Chains A and B, each alone.
Chain A
Amino acid sequence: MSKFKIKAFFAQLLALILAAPMIAWAGGGGGPFDAGTFSAIKVGLVVFAIFSAWLIKDKMGLPLPKLIQAPLLWIICYIGFRVILQPPIPFSLLAMYMGVCTVCIFLYCSLTRPSWEEFSHPIAVMLREDHATAKMSRYATFLIIPGLIAAQTYNQMLPKFGEPIELRTVHPAPPASINVHKKLVTLQTAENPFRIGDDGNYLKVGDEQKYFGGNAWTGDVPKFLQEVQQGGVVFFGTAGCFFCHGDNLDGKGPFSFAFNPIPANFADPGTISQLQETFVFWRVAKGGPDLSREAFPWASAMPPWEKHLTTNEIWKVIIFEYWHTGFFPRTWG
């Protein structure tokens, strides 16, 4: 193993570790790259990392010992999830991801008998042998591990002033039926009355796809798009939903960051596309004050729109939301 190879390897490694936060900063909103370029850079970085590893291992003939590979892999995973992945993920998710990585790195080191021996042999030497190097590493290990545990304990015991963690139920179960404008709406079976096709019949969920991408605001449009148009009027006019839910329905309206939690992002595949139209009807009509018992911690600034909109307006704004985002409501048919 030549000194040149070792130097080259460590230089690459260092460059990789240092580059990650810089690239993350560059794409973190105020940086010079737009989101698309930034994603391309991230993909490029991962490809480069894999290529470098292959180059170092197979071409430069520098197989890293498993005992070094393991922490190095762990650090790379950590940088990936903590720094490269933007916006930052919550700590609970990071802990889950790192838990999986930690277990799998251990499994990787013990996949076969030779790799397990390679991994465990230096540990056995460190624990058993009596020569100076073994002794020194033994002392260092027995100092570092308790030290790390002590630091972790200290950190945990430190008083924290941030808001506590909330296990918020984002999609609480709806009631079986609700009363809106003195009419009973059974949420399991009710249908949107404005889901009407060109032939005047009920438009099955999925069939509205042909109207996606069109302009609902030009002259003579089909019946369905007329309903969308009126729903849009409610969204941007009568109710002014866009102040919170945003022009693009992405939850980033001008008022949104004044709320805690911030308003729902309908453009995300995890919100309205996972729900039946009747669920959305319930949320719009009843708002935060009528959240069900399980909707802990009942944190919602959504007004009960039944007090301001007619039942028809509520159904129409729902049609508009699905049309605008290009999602379909959940059905079981």
Chain B
Amino acid sequence: MLNLSGEKKKKVGAWLLLSMIGMLVLLPFAPAVVMAAEEAAVEEAKEPEKAKDVFYKEEGEFGIVSGPPAGELVYPDDYGSYGDFQSRTIIWISNQQHLYFGSFVLAVPMFVWVMELIGILQYEKNPKVGKKFDDLAHEMMKISLTAYSVTAILGGILIFSFLALYPGFFRYLSGIFKPVMHIYALLFILESGVLYVYYYGWDSMNDGNGDWKWSHLSLGTILNAVGIVLMVMANTWVSFMMSPAGVDAEGRFLGDIWKVMHNPLMVPVVVHRILGNAAFGGGVVAAYASFKFLSAKTLEEKAHYDWMSYIAMFMGILALIPLPFAGYWLMREIYAYRQQMGITLMGGLLAWVFIMQATMIATLFITVNYYLFQAMGRMPGSERYYKYFKVLLAILVVATIAWLTPHTLVMTPAELKAMGGAQHPVVGNYGVMSAKNTAINTMITTTVVSFIIYQRSNFKLTVPWAWKGNIFLAMLILGAEVNILFLGVYGYFIPANVRIGLSVPQVASTLSVLFIGVAVNTKMLKGAESIGEIRWGKMSVRGAYALFMLAVAFTWTMAVMGYLRSSVRLHWHVNEILRDNSPWAFTNPLGYAGNINSLNVLLFWTMLLFVFWLSALAGAGKKKVEAEEAAAAAVGKAVPAGSH
């Protein structure tokens, strides 16, 4: 442990730390410098051959051919296998597991950073509350650290699987991304270095809200920045596979790695994944807290984990709310990139996987609302609002039914004839985007309403303008919902390009309820009379199970959507560039895909429960030592006389 006593030592320590981090930050640029020198040498040596970019037009249309063509992969030479087992499934599982843990270790530091910041800011006002947040952040970092090594192991397994089972594909992809591959690897070293200093320096650098604590938080900032860069880089590979750029029609690299990375789907994929990661991180932390809540022996412990689960859920939901809009944007970009891809995803071959995803999204929103209803059970005064719960639930049910109704129905030919066509005249209207947008906006608005009720459930408003505020809130919510419904119906009567534009005012209505509604509600609660303190630890077990369900639904959604994003390439490794010539190039039947996705979810949670158990083991050891120390200290002390 660092010995930070003495002003001089502190300074030396701080300089050493900063220089180390500075060196680590510069490290990833070394390969880029070498690459640039190499490229310059190649350019000087011969007259370059130019070729047309498959995506970039106008100025950037032509580039210097800087790599071999993708060629044609041959089975079995370019593919490996273990007996009759599908190699694709092995890659699928190892990739998904790596992604789960990768997301977890990138998301938790985001969460931890916010908690630490709140802790520092609260410290001056109320050191006890500040410490509570700080301890929460520290506890989460501990879990993340164990998960970090699991991520690295899974990354190794993934690389070995690629080398053993898809050597031809891996050769091509690593050839294209050669300029940044080592940057990626070196960034990992930087990430690890910062992570270890951040975690192990937690106690040593903790001086409440002093300079050391702020320096520690800065380390958290670097950690998150590097984490996001890492994720962006990994995302460029998958988005390149979907929508290649920076190469010619033969797949030859055209010398500009930025064009390869900045392919048409890169930005929406990155935005969607960052938000998804944050929501997933919140969900998993909430599941951890629920796990501890359910297994807690004392009310004190229960109270702590009840509070922790609430905070984590809240953070997760903050990221979840904009997520459908980011997904909508991604789909729009996919359609704009290739009409076929969009149709395959939403109306064609993979449409039913979208229904699976829709089920999961609906589960997420219903679960969040249900959790809030359960959480209100521990708030005195919330009984006043019980009568509204069933109304909110009924709205959610109606929205869910519209949200889930598929465009392509599974039916027997007899059912098709009885229905009079492929689309039902009534519920068929719910199978298109206008209805889906209306449904999801309604679900989010309902969730915000539940939260507004939650905020005020144990308070009695005292501001003189309370009744005006209530009328304003009611008008805001009602107005937003009427607007959402009206635009949803109007969407059936206008061209698709205008209809897509309608999603903006619909989202604006939802976000108005979120931001203005919550802000006004918070303002109304200023100086409000408390009906009673929140009875942390007294939440029903159903609330804890709901949070578990929430986290599992997150992971299931990730599995389903990851599968969907990947399989939309159909028989291409790299869309329209490198064809999949293995025997596993076909699209999986729904049942098989569902089973593997579920297996992935199960595997992840089994490993994660092991990680939770490990952290509990460390905690139990620490508690035992503390108890022994306390017992040792008590020896020889006077014991008050008492009856037996």
Residue contact A251 to B366, C-beta cutoff 8 Å:
no
Q: B370: which A residues are within 8 A, CB to CB? A: 107, 111
Task: Please measure, in the bound complex, the distance between the C-alpha atom of A166 and the C-alpha atom of B414, giving whole angstroms.
Answer: 11
A residues 83-134 near B (Cβ < 8 Å) are: 85-93, 96-97, 100-101, 103-104, 107-108, 110-116
CB contacts (< 8 Å) of B413 on chain A: these are 163, 166, 260-261
B419 at the interface (CB under 8 A from A): yes
Q: Which residue of A lies closest to B406 (CB)?
A: A93
- The complex places the Cα of A104 from the Cα of B390 at a distance, in Å, of 10
A252 and B411 form a contact (CB under 8 A): no
- Residue from the set B347, B421, B431 with the largest chain A CB neighbour count within 10 Å: B421
> B131 in the interface, Cβ–Cβ < 8 Å?
no
Q: Determine whether the beta carbon of B343 is less than 8 Å from that of A173.
A: yes
Contacts of A206 in B (CB 8 A): 494-495, 497-498
State whether A172 touches B349 (Cβ < 8 A).
yes
Contact B340 A173 (CB under 8 A): yes
Partner of A188, one of B338, B373, B386, B495: B338
* Chain A residues whose CB sits within 8 angstroms of the CB of B397 once the complex forms: 100-101, 104
Residue-wise interface mask of B (431-451) relative to A, using a CB-CB cutoff of 8 A (1 in contact, 0 not):
111100000000000000000
Residue A235 lies at the interface, judged by CB distance under 8 Å to chain B = no
B409 near A: Cβ within 8 Å?
yes
Query: Bound complex: CA of A166 vs CA of B497, how far in Å?
Result: 32
Report if A187 contacts B (CB, 8 A).
Answer: yes
A165 at interface by CB-CB < 8 Å: yes
* Docked-complex contact B495 and A205, CB < 8 angstroms: yes
Cβ contact within 8 Å between A91 and B422: no
Known: A91-B415, A107-B366, A111-B389. A265 touches B422 (CB 8 A): yes
From residue B471, how far is it (CB to closest CB) to chain A in Å?
25
Given known A-B contacts A90-B409, A100-B397, A112 and B389 have beta carbons under 8 A apart: yes
- Contact indicator A111/B427 (Cβ below 8 Å): no
Give, as a whole number of angstroms, the nearest-CB distance from A246 to chain B: 10
Q: Looking across the interface, which residue of chain B has its beta carbon closest to that of A163?
A: B413
Q: Are A87 and B422 in contact (CB under 8 A)?
A: no
A269 CA / B491 CA spacing, docked (Å): 10
| Partner-contacting stretch, out of A7-15, A149-157, A191-199, A272-280 | A272-280
The answer to whether A332 has its CB under 8 Å from any CB of chain B is yes
Is there contact, CB below 8 Å, between B422 and A112?
no
Assembly CA distance A14 to B408 (angstroms):
36
Indicate if the CB atoms of B401 and A97 lie closer than 8 Å: yes
Q: A93-B409, A173-B343, A269-B429 known; A110 and B542 CB under 8 Å?
A: yes
List of A residues within 8 angstroms of B407 by Cβ: 170-171, 270, 274
Question: What is the minimal beta-carbon distance from B463 to any residue of chain A, in angstroms?
Answer: 28
Contact with B416, one of A93, A187, A261, A271 (Cβ below 8 angstroms): A261
Question: Within the complex, what minimum Cβ distance (angstroms) separates B384 from chain A?
Answer: 12
Which single member of B338, B393, B417 contacts A262 (CB below 8 Å)? B417
A169 contacts partner chain B, Cβ-Cβ < 8 Å? yes
Given the complex of chains A and B, what is the CA–CA distance between A86 and B339 in angstroms? Answer: 34
B562 to chain A, nearest CB (A): 20
Partner of A169, one of B349, B377, B425, B570: B349
Smallest Cβ distance from B270 to chain A, in angstroms?
A: 21
CB-defined contacts of A262 to chain B, threshold 8 Å: 416-417, 420-422
Q: Does A34 contact B (CB under 8 A)?
A: no
Question: CB < 8 Å: which of B340, B404, B494 contacts A175?
Answer: B340
A333 at the interface (CB under 8 A from B): yes
- Kindly state the separation between the CA atoms of A205 and B498 in the bound complex, as whole angstroms: 10
CA distance A161 to B351 in the complex (A): 28
Contacting pair B373 A270 (CB below 8 A): no
User: By the criterion CB–CB under 8 Å, are A270 and B540 in contact?
Assistant: no
Bound Cα distance A268, B426 (Å): 10
B347 and A170: CB pair below 8 A? yes
The answer, yes or no, to whether B428 is at the interface (CB within 8 Å) is yes
Stretch in contact with the other chain, from A135-143, A309-317, A323-331: A323-331
> Does B405 make an interface contact (CB < 8 A)?
yes
Q: Which residues of chain B have C-beta atoms less than 8 A from A250's C-beta?
A: 421
Interface pair A170/B408, CB less than 8 Å apart: yes
Chain A neighbourhood of B332, CB < 8 A? 332
Chain B residues, Cβ within 8 Å of A91: 411, 415
CB distance A93 to B427 under 8 Å?
yes
Report if A294 contacts B (CB, 8 A): yes
Contact between A260 and B428 (Cβ–Cβ < 8 Å)? no
Contacts of B540 in A (CB 8 A): 113, 116
| CA A264 to CA B422, docked complex, whole Å | 7
Q: How far is the CB of B367 from chain A (nearest CB, A)?
A: 9
Q: In the complex, what's the smallest C-beta–C-beta distance from B348 to chain A, in angstroms?
A: 5
Given A100-B397, A116-B540, A252-B420, do A269 and B492 touch, yes or no (CB 8 Å)?
A: yes
**Given known A-B contacts A88-B418, A111-B386, A328-B496, A164 and B412 have beta carbons under 8 A apart:** yes
| Contact across chains for B414 and A274 when beta carbons are under 8 A apart | no
Q: Tell me the minimal C-beta distance from B297 to chain A in angstroms.
A: 22
Tell me the bound Cα distance from A250 to B423 in angstroms. 11
By beta carbon, the residue of chain B nearest A270 is B423
Q: Is B335 an interface residue (CB 8 A)?
A: yes
Tell whether, in the assembled complex, residue A276 and residue B412 are in contact, meaning their CB atoms are under 8 Å apart.
no
Report if B352 contacts A (CB, 8 A): yes
Q: Does B590 contact A (CB under 8 A)?
A: yes
Judge whether A176 is part of the interface by a CB distance below 8 angstroms.
yes
Known: A169-B349, A188-B338, A330-B497. A162 touches B412 (CB 8 A): yes
In the assembled complex, 5 residue pairs joining A and B whose CB atoms fall closer than 8 Å, in A order, are A100-B404, A167-B590, A173-B340, A269-B434, A332-B332
Q: Top 4 nearest A-B pairs by Cβ distance?
A: A328-B495, A90-B411, A171-B347, A173-B340
A→B interface (CB under 8 Å): 85-93, 96-97, 100-101, 103-104, 107-108, 110-116, 162-176, 187-188, 205-206, 250-252, 257, 260-262, 264-265, 268-271, 273-276, 278-279, 294-296, 326, 328-333
